[in-house]
């Protein structure tokens, strides 16, 4: 505990726009290296700057090898140790607590005793109905994604005000940052690295081998690897478990539909994949025929070559999930696929979005505009948008205007 205190004080914090004072009990969940621990550090730094000391705070990282063998029966020792050291009731910061089986009961007891607690975890099941039911609604779940485009620009000191986007030199700097963000994503620790691929590869291996393979005792690594590759190539298209099973079976030996479903679920639990459902699907197809996006464009780039539109659409998906949330059911953001295909539809805002790297190709323009022209016949559309890499115009029809906006401008709205 004393070593952890010294480590926290040394960190150079990248402050993020999270309301850490809105609720005394919060659970931060997201993919490995998305910045969950840094939110704990951010809160602890805020406490230290406000005049509090370590007698007021208790921090433990449950990925620390010195805690190997720690079980749920040992949780009370944490409080006993802090009481012996300081004689005060602390605010608790518990990092990667999902590594300890049965942690939910301890977390609920802390809430019942009116402790202030901040928890992180890298398992999407921590936001499942079962876990939140176990916690009795006492904790506020907070999804932590890699940096947004605005956060990325702020942390790389790239200006994006109106003047900067007008002047030639600063606009060029901005567009370089935009391309870098689209290609390599926003994992916080990668932001200022001159070469990001090696770091991203190491993070991917930890997610792949640790959070998916080892945690779920998966033995056929080749099939899992090929499935991940195929899903990366299919980011823009709905794909079914059945189709994945047939493709993988033809390449790497027979794999059943239930096994494919299990592999996908394991990848979702690790926050590597985010599922998007078809709002027009029958109930039976809503789970089995979906689109899948990667939690970070950098991790997706490792799987692809020359995939500009795929990366652009993935950024849009992440922005929508960041804004509207992505619980296990995800009933706020959809795609539409029934005779026509629309990339994203948000019912509560009646927002429809298409993504196209460019509309210079006439066939592409007709397809993207045509879908948004027909969708209002099926679902109400308050706003219809086509997001491009850097093109801007508008089209009018009987339902109003279809906006064509550079993705960077939409990300800054």
State pLDDT tens for residues 371-396. Answer: 999 999 999 999 999 999 999 999 99
List the structure tokens of 252: 């790497």
Least confident of 10-24, 143-157, 335-349, 371-385: 10-24
For residue 125, pLDDT over 90 is answered with no
- Are 42 and 19 a contacting pair, CB within 8 Å? no
Mean pLDDT for 302-322 is 95
The answer to whether 334 touches 276, Cβ cutoff 8 Å, is: yes
| pLDDT reported for residue 134 | 78
Average pLDDT over residues 112-123: 93
Please compute the mean of the pLDDT values over residues 140-154 and round it to a whole number: 95
pTM assigned to the model: 0.94
Confidence of residue 285 (pLDDT cuts 50, 70, 90): confident
Give 232-278 pLDDT, tens digit per residue.
999 999 999 999 999 999 998 899 999 999 999 999 999 999 999 99
pLDDT at 58 over 70: yes
**Could you tell me which of 149, 151, 127 has the C-alpha nearest to residue 28?**
127
Residue 130 pLDDT: 67
Three-state SS at 270: coil
What pLDDT score was predicted for residue 287? 85
Strand 239-240 and strand 289-294: pairing? Answer: antiparallel
Residue 404: its pLDDT value, please?
A: 98
User: Cβ neighbours of residue 97 under 8 Å, at least 6 residues apart?
Assistant: 62, 103, 107, 119, 120, 121
Residue 73: per-residue pLDDT: 95
Please provide the average confidence, as pLDDT, over all residues in the chain. 94
Give domain limits for the chain.
Answer: 2-143, 147-308, 339-413
CATH superfamily of 2-143: P-loop containing nucleotide triphosphate hydrolases (3.40.50.300)
- The answer to whether residue 194 scores a pLDDT higher than 70 is yes
Is the CB of residue 236 less than 8 Å from the CB of residue 341?
A: no
Would the pLDDT of 330 be above 80? no
The 10 Å Cβ neighbour count of residue 20 is: 16
CATH fold label, 147-308: Arc Repressor Mutant, subunit A (1.10.10)
Alpha helical stretches, state H, 165-301: 168-184, 197-205, 215-216, 221-233, 241-252, 257-269, 283-286, 297-301
């Amino acid at each position: 505990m004393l070593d952890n205190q010294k480590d926290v004080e040394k960190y150079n914090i990248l402050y993020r726009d999270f309301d850490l004072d809105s609720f005394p009990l919060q659970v931060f969940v997201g993919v490995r290296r998305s910045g969950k621990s840094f939110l704990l550090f951010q809160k602890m730094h805020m406490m230290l700057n406000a005049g509090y000391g370590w007698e007021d705070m208790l921090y433990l990282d449950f990925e620390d090898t010195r805690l190997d063998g720690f079980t749920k029966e040992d949780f009370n020792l944490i409080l006993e140790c802090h009481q012996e050291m300081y004689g005060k009731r602390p605010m608790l910061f518990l990092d990667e607590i999902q590594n300890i089986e049965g942690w939910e009961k301890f977390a609920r007891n802390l809430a019942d005793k009116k402790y202030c607690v901040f928890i992180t975890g890298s398992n999407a099941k921590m936001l499942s109905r079962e876990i939140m039911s176990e916690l009795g609604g006492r904790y506020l779940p907070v999804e932590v994604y890699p940096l947004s485009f605005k956060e990325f620009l702020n942390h790389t000191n790239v200006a994006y005000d109106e003047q900067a986007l007008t002047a030639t030199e600063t606009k060029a700097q901005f567009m370089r940052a935009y391309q870098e963000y689209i290609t390599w994503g926003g994992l916080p620790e990668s932001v200022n690295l001159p070469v990001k691929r090696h770091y991203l590869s190491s993070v991917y291996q930890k997610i792949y081998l640790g959070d998916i393979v080892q945690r779920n005792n998966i033995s056929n690594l080749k099939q899992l690897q090929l499935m991940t590759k195929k899903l990366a190539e299919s980011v823009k298209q709905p794909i079914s478990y059945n189709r994945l099973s047939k493709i993988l079976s033809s390449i790497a030996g027979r794999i059943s539909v239930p096994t494919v479903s299990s592999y996908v679920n394991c990848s979702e639990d690790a926050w590597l994949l985010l599922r998007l459902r078809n709002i027009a699907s029958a109930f039976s197809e809503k789970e089995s025929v979906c689109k899948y996006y990667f939690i970070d464009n950098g991790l997706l780039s490792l799987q692809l070559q020359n995939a500009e539109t795929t990366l652009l659409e993935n950024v849009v998906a992440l922005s929508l999930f960041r804004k509207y949330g992505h619980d296990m059911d995800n009933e706020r953001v959809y795609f539409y696929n029934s005779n026509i295909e629309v990339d994203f539809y948000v019912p509560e805002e009646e927002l429809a979005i298409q993504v196209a790297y460019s509309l210079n190709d006439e066939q592409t323009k007709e397809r993207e505009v045509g879908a948004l022209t027909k969708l209002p016949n099926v679902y109400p559309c308050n706003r219809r948008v086509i997001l491009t890499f850097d093109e801007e115009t508008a089209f009018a029809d009987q339902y109003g205007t279809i906006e064509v906006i550079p993705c960077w401008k939409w990300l800054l709205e």
